[in-house]
Amino acid sequence: MDAITSSGNYLGTERVKRPLTDAESRQLAKLLRDHDFPGASLVALRFAYKLTRSREAARDLVGRMNLRLVRWGWDPNAVSLVRRLCRLVWSEHTHQERETDVAVRAEQAFLHEQAVEAERALQAAAVRGDRLPLAPPLPAQPVAASTEQHAIRLEEEREQDARRARELEKLHGGVPALEALFRERKDEVNLLWLGYRLKGIHDPAEMARDSGRDVEEFYRAAPRRKRAVRKVLGVPEDDEETE
């Protein structure tokens, strides 16, 4: 399978399951030049800076965007290069935010455990009559602040889970009609989207990774999906409906 089709669609290394050949690399470079890759990259860099408010973080984000472009491809017949790059920036940014959030939660939980263990050790030493150390193993104020932050974050997560549960409950009411409409229209991408939403998966990038499809397919399916949801819920076309 060629990495670049006769129509100019670059499939990406993940789809062809191999690195690019030298000839394909030259083809890709020409394709990107023809679509003003430097100009599109500058727009993507500005977008990355708007999201991160850090030049270093923005450059890192654009670097990962370039890697995603090479791996997952781009169809110039479906979307402009500048839109493709900006969408990859957004996808990488949200993915990084989730990873950072998980790391912060793990750090806060660890600090909380350390504080509890330190307190138990001090209490046990006091009961035995041991000489207490001049200073506790961990500073009291940072641990207290970390524990408080951890509690706040857990509360935010509970509120988010409750909100998603309400959204899912609302969605379940129209699932049969929505699924029937997607099947009638032979809309395979939105059938996949519906299944993932019912599983609690909201990120198009995660849907794409799990299904093996291009994330662009889920983005392009959004207008069709919104029209279908409006039809099922009986919402007039001029009313704004959020996903």
Question: Which band of pLDDT confidence, cut at 50, 70 and 90, is reported for residue 86?
Answer: very high
Rounded distance between C-alpha atoms, residue 76 and residue 9, angstroms: 6
At 7-41, the pLDDT tens digits run 999 999 998 999 999 999 999 999 999 999 999 99
Helix axes 175-184, 215-233, angle to 10 degrees: 120
Q: How far apart are CA 231 and CA 241, in angstroms?
A: 11
pLDDT at 239 over 50: no
Is the pLDDT score of 242 beyond 50? Answer: no
| DSSP-derived secondary structure letter, 77 | T
* pLDDT at 73 exceeding the cut of 90: yes
What distance in Å separates the CA atoms of residue 107 and residue 114, rounded to the nearest whole number? 11
pLDDT for 223 equals 84
Higher pLDDT, 241 or 165: 165
Give the tens place of pLDDT for each residue, 172-220. 566 788 888 889 999 999 899 888 877 777 778 888 888 888 888 888 8
Distance (Å) of CA 221 to CA 146, 198, 214, 224, 226: 42, 17, 12, 5, 9
pLDDT tops 50 at residue 243: no
Q: pTM value? A: 0.45
The pLDDT assigned to 101 comes to 55
Rounded-to-integer distance, Cα 200 and Cα 168, Å: 8
What's the number of CA atoms in the CB half-sphere (13 Å) around residue 213?
Answer: 19
- Residues 116-133 have pLDDT tens digits of 676 676 666 666 665 555
Q: What is the pLDDT of residue 145?
A: 44
Question: What does each C-alpha distance from 23 to 19, 26, 69 come to in angstroms?
Answer: 11, 5, 18
| Euclidean distance between CA atoms 182 and 176, whole angstroms | 10
Q: What is the pLDDT of residues 90-120, one digit of tens each?
A: 988 887 666 555 555 555 566 666 666 766 7
